[in-house]
Structure 1
Amino acid sequence: MKGNVVAALVLIVVGTLFLLNNLGFTNLSLGRLISTWWPAILVIVGLGLLFSRK
């Protein structure tokens, strides 16, 4: 259940960033952002999987 909530929140945040970028409110380069932070994303996903085991 916790994993579903985290996944839902991640999708909401990513969707909001895409929407704000498309509407012109932000000037984010999402490709550059992901290419910079992909190792941290892998670590966070791994920690989530590790701590979600029961």
Structure 2
Amino acid sequence: MGSNAFAALVLIVVGLFFLARNLGWIDTGLGALLATWWPVGLVAVGIGMLLKRK
């Protein structure tokens, strides 16, 4: 995964988070969300590294 694709995915995820929060779909703050879901970022980086290797 190129750095441009990774940056684009990060922007999309952050944008979707703020949209969902503004629409009232989630009621938690960004800090609580990151504290819960930070391992997903590690998994995504690992998958990206595996896919880039091939």
Q: Same fold (TM over 0.5)?
A: yes
How many residues end up aligned between the 2 structures?
51
Displacement over 4 Å in runs of 4+: none
Stretches of structure 2 that go unaligned for 5 or more consecutive residues are none
Separation in structure 1 between the aligned mates of residue 47 and residue 7 of structure 2, nearest angstrom: 14
The answer to whether structure 1 residue 11 and structure 2 residue 8 are counterparts is no
Alignment pair present for 1:41 and 2:41 = yes
TM-score with structure 2 length normalisation?
Answer: 0.58
Determine the structure 1 residue equivalent to 2:53. 53
Determine the C-alpha separation between the residues in 2 that align with 1:9 and 1:40.
Answer: 13
Note the C-alpha offset of 1:14.
0.3
- CA-to-partner distance for each residue in 1:17-53, whole Å, 9 max, x for gaps? 23664xx433332111111111222122112112112
SS at match of 1:28: coil
Unaligned runs of 5+ in 1: none
Q: TM-score, normalised by structure 1?
A: 0.58
Alignment-derived partner of residue 30 in structure 1: 30
